[in-house]
Amino acid sequence: VETRPDPGRERRKGAPEIIFGETKETAQIIEMAQSLLASTGRAIISRLPPQSLVPLQEAFRAYAVSIREPSRSMVIYSPDYVRKSTGGHIGVISAGTSDIPVAEEAAIIAEEMGCRVTCIYDVGVAGLHRLMRPLHDLISDDVDAIIVAAGMDGALPSVVAGLAPVPVIGLPTSVGYGMGGKGVAALLSMLQTCAPGLSVVNIDNGVGAGITAALIANRVAQAREHQSQ
């Protein structure tokens, strides 16, 4: 069965094709990565199955391979690939330590789309004092959009959206057990937010959050760019 990665997506959409590793065989992933490397010079893989990790490293020994644990993401670069830098600036905030893998997935995508990314982790509502200072700094540092990853009660994105004058993207994570667990309460609470300017992506969809934030930041950066010319 053949696969069709979409090399034209970056040009068309401003966002690269990303290989969704989870439901694929190692051989399929390798084939798709080779195809993308040939056409675009880079292959990004998300939700890489653990058992595919070593075979992929073997297969792409001749390439620069970047693995960012604990996000289960991998990026492979052709020797001559130069990642662009757009000037966009993204903040990525996590409520707990368990939300970090998903937060990192978002951060990686935003970086691959050329953004500068500032991460602030483990500052959830059980101890809000930890949030205030770094959030203030982030805003002062002219952040273009903020991603807030949270599981369990999902309260942090609403708190941040009540404070920061930029678009906030709620990123629920599948952390939590019992009723409303696995991110359901977090997602619903974000959808029900009473704070202005919070939009959401699905549970654990770091890729979607990263692309959205980067599309925003890159558009702003492009306008800024024109300005400085």
Ligand X SMILES: Nc1ncnc2c1ncn2[C@@H]1O[C@H](COP(=O)(O)O)[C@@H](O)[C@H]1O
Q: Which is nearer to ligand X, 89 or 161 (CB)?
A: 161
Site for ligand X in 34-93 (CB under 6 A): 46-47
Asked if residue 96 binds Mg ion (CB under 5 A), the reply is: yes
What is the spatial distance between Cα 103 and Cα 97, in angstroms, rounded to a whole number?
10
Site for Mg ion in 48-77 (CB under 5 A): none
Q: Which residues are bridge partners to 65 per DSSP?
A: 76
Asked if residue 186 binds its own copies (CB under 8 A), the reply is: yes
Q: In angstroms, what is the minimal distance from the CB of 1 to its own copies?
A: 5
Asked if residue 201 binds its own copies (CB under 8 A), the reply is: yes
Name the DSSP letter for residue 88.
Answer: -
Q: Which is nearer to its own copies, 78 or 222 (CB)?
A: 222
Q: In angstroms, what is the minimal distance from the CB of 150 to Mg ion?
A: 11
Residue 70 partner contact from Mg ion, its own copies, ligand X, none using kind-dependent CB cut-offs of 5 to 8 Å: its own copies
Beta strand residue intervals within the chain, DSSP E: 19-20, 42-46, 64-68, 73-77, 89-94, 116-120, 145-150, 168-172, 198-200
How many residues touch Mg ion under the rule CB under 5 A: the total is 2
Residue 140 partner contact from ligand X, its own copies, Mg ion, none using kind-dependent CB cut-offs of 5 to 8 Å: none
Asked if residue 228 binds its own copies (CB under 8 A), the reply is: yes
For CA atoms 211, 45, 153, 188, give the dihedral sign.
positive
Looking at 85-93, 94-102, 166-174, 178-186, which segment touches Mg ion (CB under 5 A)?
A: 94-102
Cβ atoms of 103 and 126 within 8 Å: the answer is no
Per DSSP bridges, beta strands 145-150 and 89-94 are: parallel
Q: Count of H helices and E strands in the chain?
A: 8, 9
